Amino acid sequence: MYVTLTEVLTEAEKIGSTVGAFNAHNLEMVPAMISAARDAGSPIIIQTSVGTARYIGMENLVALCKGIGEREPVDVVLHLDHATKLADIRDAIDAGYSSVMFDGSSLPYSENVLKTRRVVEFAHGRGVSVEGEIGTIGGTEEGISVKEGALTKPEEARAFSEAAGVDALAVSIGTHHGSYLGKTEIDLDLVARIHDAVDVPLVVHGGTGVDEADYARLRESGVRKFNIGTELIVGWTRSAKESFGATELNASLRNNIVPANTAVAEIVAHKIGRMLPAVIG
């Protein structure tokens, strides 16, 4: 089914699971990513940056995700990631996105609350879920660099989530966007304290650099949405470079693109397998 973020995270909370949120960077990747989730028996969150959404076309992404979700036995969420402009959020919701993120983390606290609250009121009135962010997650994503900021304070996370009314909360625990050459040192104790302080599902951004050995602790500490982006870019591009470099100029493009999509599907399947609890119930 084509569903909202709230629906899949509510189910994840019941079974103590984490749902993978995977950034799509072109339209070709999406069916392979959803098929991998279907075969794993897991819901999937397909997310796009504003830039990718504008490049592909928001309506095109909605049509594809909704079409597959209604045809296949898999729950699909289409989520706009790290939107900072209310007009982009409006356009995504009008196009049919089922979830949006307003990233006001670079704003003064009070402005972040007020703008996030406006997004929540607008989105909820149209049946769309909202993710907010408190604390700053640094690094580079799709060419946009963000300076390192303070880690999220549990008491501030509680106040923000209550005032803004978000359905999910992205927190800063030491992860970095764009990291893939090494493993990130994250503050697992901080995640647990934030989980104790708030009543909404937590979100980890910059998941590519997180050691998979830490997934279980994050899952136990209320992390219900876990973002993977850079690893998919690297996998797709590595495969595409090998295929395109060896292909004949007049060969079908699918001979080069299908292996790249397969590489992405394998990453998605592997990550989902590590995010699911070993025992459900």
pLDDT at position 277: 84
pLDDT at position 137: 62
Judged by DSSP in three states, 177 sits in strand
Asked if 156 contacts 109 with a C-beta cutoff of 8 angstroms, the reply is: yes
Of 134, 130, 103, 166, nearest to 5 (Cα)? Answer: 130
Q: Which long-range contacts (CB under 8 A, 24 or more apart) does 117-126 make?
A: 117/163, 117/164, 117/165, 118/86, 119/86, 119/89, 120/164, 120/165, 120/166, 122/89, 122/90, 122/93, 123/89, 123/93, 124/165, 126/93
Asked if 61 contacts 27 with a C-beta cutoff of 8 angstroms, the reply is: yes
Residue 247 Rama label (left phi>0; alpha psi -120 to 50; beta): beta
Of 274, 280, 153, nearest to 216 (Cα)? Answer: 274
Contacts of 7 by beta carbon, 8 Å cutoff, 6+ apart:
75, 77
Q: Which residues are catalytic?
A: 81
- The model's pTM is 0.91
pLDDT at position 278: 67
Asked if 186 contacts 214 with a C-beta cutoff of 8 angstroms, the reply is: yes
The residue type at 109: Y
Helices (H), the chain: 5-15, 29-40, 50-56, 58-71, 86-95, 109-124, 154-164, 188-197, 215-220, 230-246, 254-275
Full pLDDT tens readout for the chain, 281 residues: 999 999 999 999 999 999 999 999 999 999 999 999 999 999 999 999 999 999 999 999 999 999 999 999 999 999 999 999 999 999 999 999 999 999 999 899 999 999 999 999 999 999 999 999 998 765 444 544 444 567 999 999 999 999 999 999 999 997 765 554 456 778 999 999 999 999 999 999 988 889 999 999 999 999 999 999 999 999 999 999 998 888 888 888 888 999 999 999 999 999 999 998 865 55
pLDDT at position 249: 86
